[in-house]
Structure 1
Amino acid sequence: MRHTRTTKLVATAAIAAITIAACGSDSDEGAADEAEPEADVSDEEAPPAEAEEDAAAVDDDAMEEDSMEEDSMEDDDAMVDMEPAEAVDLAAVCPATIVIQTDWFPEAEHGALYEMVGEGATIDAETKIVSGPLVQHGGAETGVDIEIRTGGPAVGFQQVVSIMAQDDDVTFGYVASDEAIENYADNPTTAFVAPLEINPQIIMWDPETYPDVTSIADLATAKDGEGVTIRYFETGAYMQYLLSDGQVTDAQLDGSYDGGPSVFIAEGGAIAQQGFASAEPYNYENVFEDWGKPVSFELIHDAGWQSYAAPLAVLDSKKEELADCMAAFTPIVQAATVGYYAAPDTANELIIQAVNDYADFWVYDQGLADSSVAAQIELGLAGNGPDDVVGNFDEERLTRFIEIAGPVFGVDGLTPADLMTNEYIDETIGFT
Structure 2
Amino acid sequence: MRRTRTSIGLAAAASLALVLSACGEDDDGGSADAAGPTGEIGSTDLAAAGCPETVVIQTDWNPEAEHGGVYQLLGDDVSIDAGAKTVSATLVDSAGDSTGVMVEVRAGGPAIGFQPVSAQMYSDDSITLGYVDTDEGIQVSADQPTVGVLAQLEKSPQMIMWDPETYPDVDEIGDLADTDATVRYFEGSAYMDYLVGAGLLREDQLDGSYDGSPAAFVAAEGADAQQGYASAEPYIYENEVDAWGKPVEYQLIHDAGFQVYASSLSVRADQLEPLSDCLTELVPLMQQADVDYLADPSGANELIVSLVEEYDTGWQYSEGVADYAAETMAELGISGNGENDTHGDFDMERMQTLIEQTTPIFTEQGTPPAEGLTPEDVVTNQFIDMSIGADV
Compute the TM-score of the two structures, normalised by the length of structure 2: 0.88
C-alpha displacement at 1:86, in angstroms?
A: 6.0
Residue from 311, 326, 336 that aligns with 1:383:
336
**Structure 1 residues 137 and 235, CA, compared in 2 at 3 Å: closer, same or farther?**
farther
1:105-184 alignment, distance < 5 Å: 105-184=62-141
In structure 1, what residue type is equivalent to 2:219? A
Residue number in structure 1 paired with 2:235:
282
Query: Does the aligned pair in 2 maintain the 1:31–1:343 contact within 8 Å?
Result: no
Give me the whole-angstrom Cα distance separating, in 2, the residues matched to 1:181 and 1:33: 37
- SS of equivalent residue, structure 1 residue 302: helix
* TM-superposition CA deviations, 1:289-327 (whole Å, max 9, x none): 111100011100011110100111111111111111111
1:339-378 alignment, distance < 5 Å: 339-378=292-331
* TM-superposition CA deviations, 1:116-162 (whole Å, max 9, x none): 01112122221211111111112111111111111122222211111
Residue number in structure 1 paired with 2:248:
295
* TM-superposition CA deviations, 1:313-343 (whole Å, max 9, x none): 1111111111111111001110000000111
- SS of equivalent residue, structure 1 residue 409: helix
Query: Does the aligned pair in 1 maintain the 2:9–2:303 contact within 8 Å?
Result: no
Query: Does the aligned pair in 2 maintain the 1:113–1:148 contact within 8 Å?
Result: yes
Give me the whole-angstrom Cα distance separating, in 1, the residues matched to 2:52 and 2:7: 32
C-alpha displacement at 1:417, in angstroms?
A: 0.8
Q: CA RMSD in A?
A: 2.0
Residue from 5, 10, 19 that aligns with 1:37:
10
C-alpha displacement at 1:34, in angstroms?
A: 6.2
Residue from 199, 202, 206 that aligns with 1:249:
202
C-alpha displacement at 1:30, in angstroms?
A: 8.6
Query: Does the aligned pair in 2 maintain the 1:229–1:272 contact within 8 Å?
Result: yes
Residue from 377, 387, 391 that aligns with 1:428:
387
**Structure 1 residues 206 and 325, CA, compared in 2 at 3 Å: closer, same or farther?**
same
- SS of equivalent residue, structure 1 residue 43: helix
Unaligned runs of 5+ residues in structure 1 are 1-19, 21-28, 46-84
C-alpha displacement at 1:44, in angstroms?
A: 5.2
Instruction: Say whether residues 1:398 and 2:351 are aligned partners.
Output: yes
- SS of equivalent residue, structure 2 residue 149: strand
Give me the whole-angstrom Cα distance separating, in 2, the residues matched to 1:31 and 1:152: 30
- SS of equivalent residue, structure 2 residue 148: strand
Query: Does the aligned pair in 1 maintain the 2:6–2:300 contact within 8 Å?
Result: no
**Structure 1 residues 34 and 220, CA, compared in 2 at 3 Å: closer, same or farther?**
same
Instruction: Say whether residues 1:272 and 2:225 are aligned partners.
Output: yes
Give me the whole-angstrom Cα distance separating, in 1, the residues matched to 2:144 and 2:303: 32
Query: Does the aligned pair in 1 maintain the 2:345–2:384 contact within 8 Å?
Result: yes
In structure 1, what residue type is equivalent to 2:43? A
Give me the whole-angstrom Cα distance separating, in 2, the residues matched to 1:86 and 1:415: 38
Instruction: Say whether residues 1:188 and 2:139 are aligned partners.
Output: no
- SS of equivalent residue, structure 1 residue 204: strand
C-alpha displacement at 1:33, in angstroms?
A: 5.2
Unaligned runs of 5+ residues in structure 2 are 23-40, 364-368
**Structure 1 residues 112 and 282, CA, compared in 2 at 3 Å: closer, same or farther?**
same
In structure 1, what residue type is equivalent to 2:130? G
**Structure 1 residues 237 and 341, CA, compared in 2 at 3 Å: closer, same or farther?**
same
- SS of equivalent residue, structure 1 residue 202: strand
Give me the whole-angstrom Cα distance separating, in 2, the residues matched to 1:276 and 1:205: 12
Q: How many residues were matched structurally?
A: 362
- SS of equivalent residue, structure 1 residue 314: strand
Query: Does the aligned pair in 1 maintain the 2:20–2:81 contact within 8 Å?
Result: yes
Residue from 73, 95, 107 that aligns with 2:52:
95
Residue number in structure 2 paired with 1:262:
215
C-alpha displacement at 1:361, in angstroms?
A: 2.5
In structure 1, what residue type is equivalent to 2:94? H
Give me the whole-angstrom Cα distance separating, in 2, the residues matched to 1:391 and 1:259: 29
